[in-house]
Amino acid sequence: MIGNSSLLNRAIYIASQVAPTDLTVLITGESGVGKEVFPKIIHQMSSRKHGSYIAVNCGAIPEGTIDSELFGHEKGSFTGAHEARKGYFEVVNGGSIFLDEVAELPLSTQVRLLRVLESGEFMKVGSSKVIKTDVRIVAASNINIPEAIRSGKFRQDLYYRLNTVPVFIPSLRQRKEDIHLLFRKFASDFAERYRMPVIQLDEDAKRLLEEYRWPGNIRQLKNITEQISIIEENRNISATTIRGYLPSGQFNELPVLYKKEGEDKEFSERDLLYKVLFDMKNDIHELKKVVSGITKEDGVTPEIQKRESFLIDRLDSDLEGLNDIRDKVEIHHPSRIESFDESVHESEVVDEPLSLQEKEIEMIRKALKRHNGKRKNAAKELGISERTLYRKIKEFHIE
């Protein structure tokens, strides 16, 4: 394991603490983060280290044969069963078994696995004889198991049995300080394997690697390092060279709603502030379109036109204020954030004060009056959804 991330160190600490016991461990994390390494750590640090260890990819075994693979079968139990066969749980008795992608197991197999966890007993396919086994189970999944439970694809009782000790493996974008360390390790390994000089990154290239989101995590970083090591003749790698190997569209790291495994949705103050700013920006642009449309209609008095012009200037000022607030927000990585600045037509400024809320209420009332209270038509004229209009009517207590 390579890295100094606090999240990674926490996962290693939990794994080392639980290893001497026989507790079941559930490892979660995105695809490519290295979940398969932790069961080996747990096995090697346990009292079972001299016993057998086997890793089973549950998603790679066909549904029709998964029971036979795990629990074995008797001769003639199904077509093609020409002789009896031992399953993994029987072969690994006294050792450890790693069930990767455990959420891919069929529901019928989940029932069998639950019995093994509860009593250490199972029956071969086509047999009525109960077999005892002493196996340490470590499971892993890259999907949200609670959501799979809600959709009926995973048993809740099995989840609680597997999740005795949870270990969460952070994604590569959550441990940016480790990206360069991993790159250097992979570059050194490939240089030795292919007998060529080690590639080196300049500072811009290092920053670019930290900006990238790495949807494939460590597996993707390793593949890209290997490509660059083989293809590039110049061993000093620049950011321009790196960018040519990274798929586009994965550099924008605007805040997103992220839900950790087993937790409710929680957002940092920075994420909440960004969300508020973006919502305000969208509302302001929406109002600008409405105001511009109303000023072009027939029958609008010069007085109202002056007020609407003043409102547009106020909206422009609000947009500039949002830019100033956004620039003061402290973030932990460089991001490419679109400017809130938008070009709008120039309008005459009048001295008559009018708040944004008052103007919005006035426009909504006029639209409802013109359409005899029909919200659908009024919302269409205002350029907003009927749901938004209903919310604003309720919020402003508009009769």
Do residues 112 and 90 make contact, with C-beta atoms less than 8 angstroms apart?
A: no
pLDDT higher at 198 or 354: 198
**Token duo for residue 126:** 């086509």
CATH tag, 175-243: 1.10.8.60
* Identity of the highest mean pLDDT range in 76-90, 278-292, 293-307, 325-339: 76-90
Nearest alpha-carbon partner for 385 in 286, 259, 265: 286
CA distance 58 to 392: 51
Which parts of the chain fold into alpha helices (H)? 6-18, 37-44, 66-71, 88-91, 107-119, 145-150, 156-162, 179-194, 203-211, 217-231, 239-243, 269-295, 302-328, 356-370, 375-382, 386-396
Q: How far is CA 180 from the centre of its chain?
A: 22
Do residues 261 and 30 make contact, with C-beta atoms less than 8 angstroms apart?
A: no
**Token duo for residue 50:** 């001299």
Phi/psi class of residue 150: alpha, beta or left (left: φ > 0; alpha: ψ in -120 to 50)? alpha
Residue 109 identity: T
| For residue 343, pLDDT beyond 80 | no
pLDDT higher at 322 or 381: 381
**Token duo for residue 14:** 């939990």
**Strand, helix or coil at 67?**
helix
In this prediction, residue 248 carries a pLDDT of: 75
Nearest alpha-carbon partner for 99 in 62, 66, 137: 137
Q: How far is CA 251 from the centre of its chain?
A: 15
95-108 confidence digits (pLDDT tens): 999 999 999 999 99
In this prediction, residue 278 carries a pLDDT of: 63
CA distance 143 to 103: 7
Q: Where are the domains of the chain?
A: 6-170, 175-243, 269-396
280-324 confidence digits (pLDDT tens): 666 666 666 665 665 555 555 555 555 556 655 665 565 555 555
pLDDT higher at 375 or 240: 240
In this prediction, residue 86 carries a pLDDT of: 95
State phi, psi for 80 to the nearest 5 degrees.
95, -5
- Counting every residue written for the chain, the total comes to 399
Buried b (16+ CB within 10 A) or exposed e, 105-137: beeebbebbbebbeeeebbbbbbeeebebebbb
210-263 confidence digits (pLDDT tens): 999 999 999 999 999 999 999 999 999 999 999 999 987 666 444 444 444 444
In this prediction, residue 372 carries a pLDDT of: 86
In this prediction, residue 355 carries a pLDDT of: 61
**Token duo for residue 334:** 């460089």
Q: Percentage of the chain surpassing pLDDT 70?
A: 73
Do residues 261 and 168 make contact, with C-beta atoms less than 8 angstroms apart?
A: yes
pLDDT higher at 374 or 342: 374
Average pLDDT over the chain, rounded to whole?
Answer: 82
Residue 394: which pLDDT band, with cuts at 50, 70 and 90?
A: confident
Among 64-68, 148-152, 354-358, 389-393, where is mean pLDDT lowest?
A: 354-358
Residue 152: which pLDDT band, with cuts at 50, 70 and 90?
A: very high
Total H helices, total E strands in the chain: 16, 11
25-69 confidence digits (pLDDT tens): 999 999 999 999 999 999 999 999 999 999 999 999 999 899 999
CA distance 183 to 132: 46
In this prediction, residue 264 carries a pLDDT of: 42
| For residue 331, pLDDT beyond 70 | no
**Token duo for residue 105:** 């197991």
262-272 confidence digits (pLDDT tens): 444 444 555 56
Residue 77: which pLDDT band, with cuts at 50, 70 and 90?
A: confident
In this prediction, residue 312 carries a pLDDT of: 59
**Token duo for residue 345:** 């037509």
Do residues 133 and 112 make contact, with C-beta atoms less than 8 angstroms apart?
A: no
In this prediction, residue 352 carries a pLDDT of: 43
In this prediction, residue 178 carries a pLDDT of: 95
Residue 83: which pLDDT band, with cuts at 50, 70 and 90?
A: very high
In this prediction, residue 346 carries a pLDDT of: 42
Which CATH superfamily does the domain covering 6-170 fall into? P-loop containing nucleotide triphosphate hydrolases (3.40.50.300)
Which parts of 120-171 fold into alpha helices (H)? 145-150, 156-162
CA distance 158 to 93: 21
